[in-house]
Each structure stands twice: as C-alpha cells, then as structure tokens.
Structure 1
Amino acid sequence: MTQDPRLLRTANGTAPPTSATALRRANLSSVLRQLRDHVSRSRADIADATGLHRATVSNLVAELLERRLVREVGIEHVGAVGRPRRAVALHGAHVGALGLEINVDYISVHGRDLRGHVLVERRVSFDAVGGGPDRSLRRLGLVAQEAIEAMERAGAVPAGVAVAIPALVDVACGVVKFAPNLDWHDLPLADRLSAALGPLSVPVMVDNDANLAALAEYTSGVAAGTPHLVYLTGEVGVGGGIIVDGRLLRGADGFSGEVGHLPVDPAGARCGCGRHGCWETKVGLAALVRTAMPEQAYALPGLPVSDPEERAAEIARRLVEGDRGMLDAVAQVGRWLGLGGSIVANLFNPRVIVVGGYFATLAEWLLPHAQAELERLVVASPASQCRFAASDLGFGAASRGAASMVVNHLIDDPTTIMSSLPRPTLP
C-alpha cells in the first residue's frame, strides 16, 4: 500500500506514523472513524476529510469491503453535473462487541455488532456484595458466556469484552484497585474473566462504570455531542464521568470522576470508602431507601436482592400517590444533588449534568429541587447556563458504554481483527 505523505497529524499534534504497518493501521482507522461518525460517505468525501489520496482511500475501502467491515449503500449525486459517487457505510454485522456491568445488586449485558445493531440486552439481579469477588466473577463469566452464545446465534463473533464496575480501575492492566461499595481490592478482573471464558479467547477490558456511561451519553444520549458534560450515576453509590472538549477526563492515574466521595457533611454517615459525609451518603439510592423505606434498607439480613429499577419504580409509585414522607425525602435528596452538582459545575464548567439510574427515574421530583440549588450555588450563575438533564438510557448506560469501548478499540486499531476475519466465499 502506498504511503500517503499528506496524512494529517494526529489530534494531539504528534507526527504521523512512519512504519508501513503503523501507517496502514492509522489509515484504516481514519476511514472507519469517518463511517462511524456519519451514516455514509463517498470515497471522495473520506479523502477530503482525512487528507488521504483518493487512490489510497479506494484501496483501503476495497480491503474493508472484502472483509465485510463496510458495504456499498448507493449512489450520491453531487451538483447538477459531474460523476456520481458511490457511498459506503459501516457494516461488520459478523463482528460483535460485548459490554457488561457488575454493580452492587445486578449484572447488566449489552451486545451489539459493529454497525450498532443490538443483539442481546438484559439485566440480572445479583448480590455482588454478598457473593464476594470469587462467586461474583463466576456468575459474571456465566452471564458473559450466555451473551456470547446469543450473539453467535445472531451471526456475530465477539471481538472483545469490556466490563464496567463502580471502582477505581487500572484500565491498562484491567485491575480493580478499590471498589468501595463492593469491598473489592486489587482484583485482576480482566485476567480472571479471560480465564473464565476459557477457549473463547476474547480480549477483556475493564473501566469505571461512570466513565463508560458518560461515553454512552456523549455518543447517543440526551446531550449527545455536547463537548462539556458530566454524567452522574444514580445507583447504590454515585460516580461521575467527565467529558471535556469532547474527551473523557481521566486524570493523572485514571481515577478522576469519583465525585460520590466529595466530602459534603463531615458529621454525616459513614461511607463505603471508610470516610464520613461523602456526597453519595446523601444522594445514593441506598441513602434514599434507608431514609424513606427503612424496612427495605440495603444490607438488612434476610432480604432478597432487589433490582434497582424495581426499587425506583416503587418509590415513584409512592410519590404519585402523594406519600408525604417520600416526597420530603426525595426533596431532600434533590437539594443535596444540587449542592454536589454546584461543586462539580464550579470545578468543570459543564454545559449539562446528565443524571442516570434512579435519578433519571425520579427526575420530575428530584430535578426541580436540584436545579434550584445549583443555580443558587454556582459562582458563575447565570452566565454558566449549566442545567440538569435526565438520561434516557436507563440502568443500562454503563454496559452500553462498555460495548462502545470495544467498538472504539476496534476502530482505533482495525488490524486487531482484520487477519482473523474470513474472506467471503465466492458462489
């Protein structure tokens, strides 16, 4: 393949790759990225957008067509005269991406193909705290195997698995450093899950649940494309994913976004992290249940595992019925949500704070209180124009983001799957 001297510099200003292998990888990635971000594009459009020679783009597209990663989708006519352009679109119906989330009380699954077509999606109630890391990973492995089999029946072979978890994660090594609400420490989750999957030999990645949910929101949520946004999980605990200039903010060690552990009340309740008065002790689902439904509080012995969506639906039912105690408890959570949101807004100046999980389910009762407190406490108000918005991705945002992580990895380096993809059999 001819090297293209006009290959643009990368986004961070570094020089283009010099070896033939690295150049091929970068060029294939550039083409696929264009097709990921647009419904379809002609070869000429791709060449114009990437700075690659049209002949180079034609060669790359031909290779991707042969591997069924892209497909022809029709003719585009540009202007009144000139040659028609044949458009191509992302395909890869035979390439799968599996996203998983393991949280305090459930395991969530989202499997899709490279085009974005959903192949499997489910959530399983599971007590990950009571099960401990060993039993939890065995169950996670079984759920993953079932999902992979479902994807294969749909005609897609998973090319990667990503796991979302409410924890500090060493992403490069796939190690859970500390999961406060699970009480897991230094767990090599990627290696353990890879071993559980055995001969399937599927690459496994691990990341923080809020980071992956933020990516899902930025890609396809209510504030999709907003370059400055913060996502807040609404689970037993609270985590945050921060998008700045369209990129996930990770921090020096990859541990940014632990907003649930902002100290907001030094005299408050003890948190799973061992400290007192963390924000999640005021606004997490466990805190609301403990205040308004003490008979169903988390960690009470003998209670069955309850899906968080079911708990949120029960709270919503009581709110609709006008339960005064529940209305007061939710209003209090809303005010604490706005207080913590103002800290986040003062630090990162986002345009929108997207709330997920149970926050989204109870948005009509929570967010008016939260927005009022946010506007009262944000220093730059009203110029900051920051607002709360309820996610429409439900409790599956993190597993959806995990699947997107796999897809993005494949698009960043298509050569990881190119050699393993079969060439189509001629009739």
Structure 2
Amino acid sequence: MSTRVTAAPADQLTVRRSNLSLVLSHLRDAGPRSRAKIAADTGLNKATVSSLVAELVERGLVGEGEVERVGSVGRPGQTVGLAPGRVVGVGVEVNADFVDVTALDLTHEVVLSRRAPADMRALGERGAIALVVRCLQEALATLSAGGSSVVGVTVAVPALVDSGRGRVALAPNLGWTGTELAAQLDAALGLGDVRVAVDNDANLGAIAEHALGVGRDVDDLVYLAGEVGVGCGVIVGGELLRGSSGFTGEIGHAPLNPRPEVCGCGRVGCWETQVGLGVLLAGCARGPDDPVLDGDADIDVRLDEINARAAAGDVATLETLQRVGIALGLGASVLVTIVNPRALVLGGYFAVLEEHLRPFVVHTLLERVVAPDAGGVEVRASRLGFTAASRGGAVVALQQVFADPTRVPVPA
C-alpha cells in the first residue's frame, strides 16, 4: 500500500516568503522597476509578481513610483521601489571615546545619526552600557515619533565578539571581559521581538563599505578601521570572512612592532602601538594640554586640527604622519599578501587623514608586497568616516527583513 505525500500549507508559506524575499532583494539590488520587468528579471510569472508586490506594499516595504515609459507597444507599467523611511535598522558603535547611533531605511538612506563623545573606559563597564542604553532610548523615541518602525539593532564593539551569543569576550580598549552585552541591552530596552545583535566593529565597517561605500564595486576587499584600536574586516567573494571561531581580523594585536611597547591588551609589540589613534594624537600634540588630546572633544574636530597643522607644515605633525603611514603600509602589506584583495579601504582616522597617509601606504605596499604592482590592490579612502561600523550594523539589522519580509507585520 503506497502513501501519497502532499505539500503541507507550511511549505506553501515557505515558498511565499522566499518569493517575497526574492522580489524585495531584487528591488534593493536593481532599483525601481515595473512589475513586468520584475517578472522578466526573476523568472516569476506576472500574476505572482503582482500578488507579491501587493503584499509588500501592504506591509509598507514597497511603494508605487513613476510610470515606466520605454517606447514599447502596450500600456506603460508603473514602477515600484523600496519604501523609504518607514522600516529602519539601527546600528550602534561603542568605541573608546564615543557612542555613535545610525538608523538606515530600506534604501540605505540615513534616517537618524547621533554621536555622544565620552571616555568609555573611565565610565567603567556599567556606566558605559548605561550611556549606550540612554543613547538608544533617545534614538528609538525619535524614530517612533517620526513614524519609523525599528526591525533590529546591531551593536559594533572593538572586541573579540561571540556574535552568536551577543557576548563581548574581550575588549581591551574598553576594559570589558566576558560582557553579556546583547542580554543586558535586551533587558534594559525591552524591545520584545526586535533583536539586539553584537559584532566586531571592523567586520561591520567592512559590510558597510561593501554594501554602500567605496567597496560596492568589488567582492574582495580588506577594510582597516583606524580608531583607538585597529582592526580589519575581510570580504572574500562578497561574503564576510569570520574564521573558525569568528575572530578573523584582529590585526591590531598582531606582533608587528619591533619595539617592546605595551598595548592596551597587556601584550607588547602589537601593531596597534604603532598606528592606533592614541599614538597619532600623542605624536602630534604640543604638550599635555593640547586640545587634540581632549577626550571630551569630538574626534572629527581634533582630526581637523591635525589636518590644518599638516597643511601649515608643522614638523612634528608631518613626521608623525610619515611614521604612522609607513607602519600602516607595513601591516597592510601582510594583509594584502595573504588575502590579495581588489581594494584596501582605509577607514576611521586613516580616511580623515588619507591625504597625508596614503602616499606612504602605497609606497610601502609596492615595496613590500611580492606580487607585481602589489597584487593589483587599490587603496581607497572610506567616505563613511566614523559612522562606518554603525552603518554596517544598520545594514545587518535590515538584512533580516530582506531575508523574510513577513517579519514586518501588516499595519492594523
């Protein structure tokens, strides 16, 4: 006796979710287009596409656009595209001297951007997390008042992060060890179904550059985050490289400094002791009261002052920039030799001071990388500044909607 197996209703729902994801992701990648064009591009039939688009419109994810006129015979179709503003992902960067919050909508446009300067290590773990909570509460209230619905929060930390558990294993520049950050933020914010995730800041910076920055046109890139700590995010074949334990990219603590200088992690000789932000600021300072050392001042203001001093020919500033640029090139040459990326993206303060650092980086790469022409790598400066990690967090928060649009409920 044979038993006939029929598709369960759940399977039909799975197919429906998959097709909704296909259409929404296609609109993200290809831009607004007519229903007929979506059907032709995706291989779905026109009736199915019309039904899927209707549901996406109902969920507030897609909106009607202009009439598409291509000169063909027949009635012109109306374009549909991602709906701006309503659905947002929130990214937060927690760094040694600031908290940055960025919200992006489905089109990756910035809906909200705020930064709070602070000496996070001096605040201690409890005080620092309390500041993050306050910044998030204020941002979420502003977004809600503006009619935006938050679908996820991703927090970037300069640390070894167990992203699966949302746990900070070790953050030397913050003084955190074994911090259950996601759980603490969940408890403090009470966001219900809105997931709080935690990841390494350089990883999220790399994701941001690949999704919406200077690395959009390449699928193999190395992103270097120049902040108090130094890390890198690696994209290979369009995917983030995490490694077996998720700790890929901790280049700042590689023993590349021949001088036995003590790092914030307690070890000696780390690359960070040559190219970290603190080294740069100390080298450019004219004394202990120099405003570039003021941790309560916004970092962009302090770096603008260093750019101004370099333009004016200040000897100490120029010598420091040369020393840091050469050391930056040496470490980057190791990464380029191992990964062979198409682009090396300078982020954080490396990008702000790119005019002065880049010549030394390029020269050192050409001198040190064994492959001809440094393996063809292009050195590019991020245009996302110190918001790269928080923007990457927002991009990751939004990915769950593109993976499953039904996570966004139909408005009552």
Question: Which residue of the partner structure matches residue 142 of structure 2?
Answer: 150
Q: Distance in 1 between matches of 2:215 and 2:107?
A: 21
**Partner SS for 2:379:** strand
Asked if 2 retains the 8 angstrom alpha-carbon contact of 1:290 and 1:297, the reply is no
> Which residue of 381, 389, 393 maps to 1:390?
381
Of residues 365, 369, 374, the one that matches 1:374 is 365
Deviation at 1:304, TM superposition (A): 5.0
Do the aligned partners of residues 227 and 201 (structure 1) sit closer, same or farther apart at CA in structure 2, a change above 3 Å counting? closer
Distance 1:319 1:223, change over 3 A: same
Match of 1:222 among 214, 217, 225: 214
Give the Cα–Cα distance (whole angstroms) in 2 for the partners of residues 351 and 367 of structure 1: 16
Find 1:323's aligned residue among 310, 314, 319.
Answer: 314
Give the match for residue 399 of structure 1: 390
Quote the offset at 1:118 in angstroms: 2.2
- 2:213 aligned with 1:213: no
Aligned-partner Cα distance in 2 for 1:328–1:305? 26
Letter of the aligned partner of 2:46 in structure 1? R
Query: Matches of 1:177 and 1:51 in 2, distance apart?
Result: 45
Q: Decide whether the 8 Å contact of 2:306 with 2:317 is kept in 1.
A: yes
* Distance apart, 1:337 and its partner CA: 0.7
- Structure 2 partner of 1:8: none
Superposed, which structure 2 residues align to 1:185-264 within 5 Å?
Answer: 185-198=177-190, 202-264=194-256
Q: Return structure 1 stretches of 4+ with deviation > 4 angstroms.
A: none
CA RMSD of superposed structures (Å)? 2.2
TM-score, with length taken from structure 1: 0.89
- Give yes or no for contact 1:75–1:84 (8 Å, CA) kept in 2: yes
1:182-223: CA deviation from partner (whole Å, max 9, x where unpaired)? 121111111111111136663211111111111111122123
What is the match of residue 411 of structure 2?
A: 422
For residue 182 of structure 1, give the secondary structure of its aligned residue in structure 2.
coil
Query: What is the CA-CA distance between 1:296 and the residue it aligns to?
Result: 4.5
Confirm or deny that 1:126 pairs with 2:115. no
Gap change, CA 1:381 and 1:297, over 3 Å in 2: farther
Q: Would you say the 8 A contact 1:75–1:87 is kept in 2? A: yes
Higher relative contact order (CA 8 A, sep 6+): 2
Equivalent AA in structure 2 for residue 246 of structure 1:
G
CA-to-aligned-CA distance 1:333-389 (integer Å, 9 cap, x gap): 000111111101001101111111111111111110111001101111216121221
Query: Which residue in the other structure is 1:12 paired with?
Result: none
Report what 1:50 is aligned to. Answer: 42
Q: Deviations over 1:67-105 (max 9, x none)?
A: 221111132244532443332101153222211111000
Q: Could you say which residue in structure 2 is the equivalent of 1:277?
A: 269
Q: Secondary structure at the match of 2:387?
A: helix
> Could you tell me how far apart the structure 2 residues matched to 1:297 and 1:371 are?
34
* Matched position secondary structure for 1:384: helix
Distance 1:303 1:344 in 2: 32
* Rounded Cα–Cα distance in structure 2 between residues aligned with 1:101 and 1:422: 31
* Aligned mates of 2:99, 2:29 — CA distance in 1: 30
Correspondences of 1:49-198 after superposition (within 5 Å)? 49-78=41-70, 80-91=72-83, 93-198=85-190
Aligned-partner Cα distance in 2 for 1:328–1:304 = 23
Within 1, Cα distance between the matches of 2:213 and 2:81?
A: 22
Contact 1:229/1:242 (<8 A) preserved: yes
1:335 to 2:326 alignment: yes
Aligned length: 402
Corresponding position of 1:14:
none
- What is the percentage of aligned positions where both structures have the same residue? 46
SS at match of 1:219: helix
Judged with a 3 Å threshold, the aligned counterparts in structure 2 of structure 1 residues 417 and 68 are, in CA distance, closer, same or farther, namely closer
- For residues 216-273 of structure 1, the C-alpha deviation after alignment (integer angstroms, 9 at most, x for no partner) is 1112212322111111111011111111111111112221111212221243311122
Are the structure 2 counterparts of residues 69 and 173 from structure 1 closer, same or farther at C-alpha, using a change threshold of 3 Å?
A: same
2:23 and 2:38 in contact (8 A); partners too: yes
Unaligned runs of at least 5 residues, structure 1:
6-17
Counterpart contact for 1:239–1:258, Cα < 8 Å: yes
Deviations 1:139-170 (A, max 9, x none): 10110010011111221021211111111111
Kindly indicate whether the alpha-carbon contact (under 8 Å) linking 1:296 and 1:303 is maintained by their aligned counterparts in 2: no
| Residues 155-164 or 85-94, more deviating | 85-94
Match for residue 24 of structure 1? 16
Partner AA of 1:73 in structure 2: G
Structure 1: distance between partners of 2:75 and 2:406: 32
Supply the AA of the counterpart residue of 2:116. Answer: V
Contact 2:214 2:381 survives alignment (8 Å): yes
Amino acid at match of 1:32: L
Name the residue aligned to 1:305.
Answer: 296
Structure 2 length normalisation: TM-score? 0.92
> Which letter does structure 2 place at the counterpart of 1:242?
V
Q: Partner residue of 2:257?
A: 265
| Shift of residue 53, structure 1, vs aligned partner | 3.0
Tell me whether 370-379 or 22-31 shows the greater mean CA deviation. 22-31
> In 2 relative to 1, CA 297–187 (structure 1 residues): closer, same or farther, beyond 3 Å?
farther
Instruction: Note if contact 2:159-2:170 (Cα within 8 Å) is conserved in structure 1.
Output: yes
Q: Is the 8 A contact 2:365 2:374 kept in 1?
A: no
After superposition, residues 5-20 of structure 1 pair within 5 angstroms as: 19-20=11-12
CA distance in 1, matches of 2:36, 2:212: 27
CA contact (8 A) 2:257 2:273 kept: no
